[in-house]
Structure 1
Amino acid sequence: MMELRHLRYFRAVAEELHFGRAAERLHIAQPPLSQQIRHLEEELGVTLFVRSTRRVELTPAGQAYLERVEAILDAVDVAGLQAQRVAEGRQGTLAIGCVGSATYSLLPRLVRALRQDLPELDVSVRGEMLAPAQLSALISGQIDLALLRPPVGGAEVVVETIRRDRLFVALPEGDQRCAGESVDIDELRDAEFVTHAGQGRSVMNGILASICAAAGFVPQIRHEVAETSTLVTLVAAGLGVAIVPEPTAALGVAGVRYLPLIPGAPTVELAVARPAGVPSPMIEQVLTVLRRVAADDH
């Protein structure tokens, strides 16, 4: 029965055109090599080599066979390397979901780092996803990793905090509160807010309510939006103020001023969530890169 080793034996002899040199290259004795080539010819029913005491030459049939054998062996070698890269987590397809503020700061740096460290990874991203939508996509397998704001619950996922972001106030340029270096929460009692969607659809909406409640007032919400880019655009248009994570400033919308929120310099976590269970080698590789990029980002 023909095996891959027979094809490798044949290619070595065809390339060396010398049984002795081919045997040395294959680290086998010459007589068994000659015997295997004869068995191959018998199985194929063709003569692959013309042998003489002084030289070995490929027959036309042997030359045609060599072209096919080289393609087969090259494909086998490539398949083996690909399997190794997949097993090591260096090749595959990865989908990442990302909360709005990190979409414009951490995510671009992460994708660049993945392209450099894991160039054979096919990465797709879904930015501007609120936490509940990310969790749903993660559990259903639509995304492999979620970058979101805790709290995140459920036995279906594993959550790891990768950094903490300061909370800032986004103000329209020219707002009287832009005159200082920070904004006290008490200065926002009479402000109209632009915020992310409420009713449990956005962590930041809950954070806004908690911060204002701790200061003794209920925020006046003028607009609720689904995307951070829309939120900042409405602030720039003078339709309200917003409490946002510091990285939101990376969005770079003209007409908006970002100032730290006080007192207490409150912060909000950014976490990565993945499906529960032992992570795949690919996920482990990506998490290593993500942790480094998140640490460098601060």
Structure 2
Amino acid sequence: MDIRHLRYFIAVAEEEHFTRAAERLHMAQPPLSQAIRQLESELGVQLLRRSTRHVALTAAGQAYLERARGILEELSSASDHARQVAAGTVGHLVLGCVGSATYSLLPQLSRGLAIELPGVDFAFRGEMLVPDQVTALRNGDIDLALLRPPIADLGLTVVQLRQDRLVVALPASHPLAATDRVRVKQLAGSDLIIHSAHRRSMMYDVTLGILREAGIEPHIRHEVGETSTLVTLVAGGLGVAIVPEPVSALQLEGVIYRPLVRPARTVSLAVAHRADRHEPHLVRALAVIRELT
């Protein structure tokens, strides 16, 4: 069946006249009449009662008119949706965030993505460690990840966003809380709260590397899986923690953040996705993320 025949039939049914319908369709009347006869022949039913003055719908024609209108509306909707998909303005994406980005960047990012891409349905997973993010990207459980390199997986595309300096989270009662900044060597003898080693946290290796370079043997009191738990334990006076500066957005009573100096250190923040993913809405989301960070 030719879709044009549906449009022709609807025009004739609405105009109740072949000549007026032909004028509306910007075509000659004979091919219009022929197309309607062909449509009736294909269906095996009479759709129209014809007279010299006007055209009337049969019962079958009235039923067919309603369905034909619905078909054309669906076709129009499908075309619009296809154009939106091609433009990257609709879709669904899950964004996984490393702990420090969860509290500092995710509120701003979720608002910005909603404004810039209102037709894309975003879901967010916070407090993810980098190894968990890599696994989730591979499995398709998340589509994008805000994480901290290095990433060794060659199946992922990793785009650097910025550098975040490291700070020390201190209990308010700690002697170093009264200083403006903390030197690495001043952490000697302090109990340490750190992200878990068995979950292969990037910050575990960074923290231990910084202390050992300064000749300090770390005294780990607690290993945790979530940044919020880490800061809560610091607030409880159970130890100190070295964290990316964005963690300071997580303000809890009893916690003081101080810059870590001599030497000053930074860690990268990046956005990653599977290298075989190039959907337009994902590409547009990447551009928004880069702009907002």
What's the TM-score, normalizing by structure 2? 0.92
Does the 8 A contact of 1:100 with 1:128 survive in 2? yes
Does the 8 A contact of 1:200 with 1:206 survive in 2? no
**Residues 103-122 of structure 1: pairs in structure 2 closer than 5 A:** 103-122=102-121
Name which of structure 1's ranges 267-276 and 58-67 shifts more when overlaid on structure 2: 58-67
Change (3 A) 1:114 1:16: farther
Deviation of residue 53 (structure 1)?
Answer: 4.2
Residue in structure 1 matched with residue 63 of structure 2 by the alignment:
64
Aligned partner letter, 1:3: D
Residue in structure 2 matched with residue 10 of structure 1 by the alignment:
9
**Residues 1-80 of structure 1: pairs in structure 2 closer than 5 A:** 2-80=1-79
Once the two structures are aligned, what percentage of the paired residues are identical? Answer: 55
What's the TM-score, normalizing by structure 1? 0.90
Name which of structure 1's ranges 42-51 and 125-134 shifts more when overlaid on structure 2: 42-51
Change (3 A) 1:242 1:20: farther
Aligned partner letter, 2:146: L
Paired residue total:
293
Aligned partner letter, 1:40: L
Provide, for residues 19-52 of structure 1, a one-character-per-residue CA deviation record: whole Å limited to 9, x for no partner. 3443344343332112211222233333333444
Structure 2 unaligned runs (5+)? none
Aligned partner letter, 2:38: H
**Residues 162-173 of structure 1: pairs in structure 2 closer than 5 A:** 162-173=161-172
Deviation of residue 54 (structure 1)?
Answer: 4.0
Change (3 A) 1:265 1:29: farther
SS in structure 1 of the partner of residue 7 of structure 2: helix
Aligned partner letter, 1:60: A
Deviation of residue 109 (structure 1)?
Answer: 2.2
Residue in structure 2 matched with residue 209 of structure 1 by the alignment:
208
Provide, for residues 177-218 of structure 1, a one-character-per-residue CA deviation record: whole Å limited to 9, x for no partner. 122222222221121111101157111111111211222212
**Residues 269-284 of structure 1: pairs in structure 2 closer than 5 A:** 269-277=268-276, 279-284=278-283
Change (3 A) 1:188 1:27: farther
Does the 8 A contact of 2:157 with 2:272 survive in 1? yes
Provide, for residues 256-278 of structure 1, a one-character-per-residue CA deviation record: whole Å limited to 9, x for no partner. 11121112432110111111236
Task: Output the CA distance in 2 between the equivalents of 1:181 and 1:80.
Answer: 61
Residue in structure 2 matched with residue 181 of structure 1 by the alignment:
180
Task: Output the CA distance in 2 between the equivalents of 1:256 and 1:25.
Answer: 75
SS in structure 2 of the partner of residue 104 of structure 1: helix
Does the 8 A contact of 2:183 with 2:263 survive in 1? no
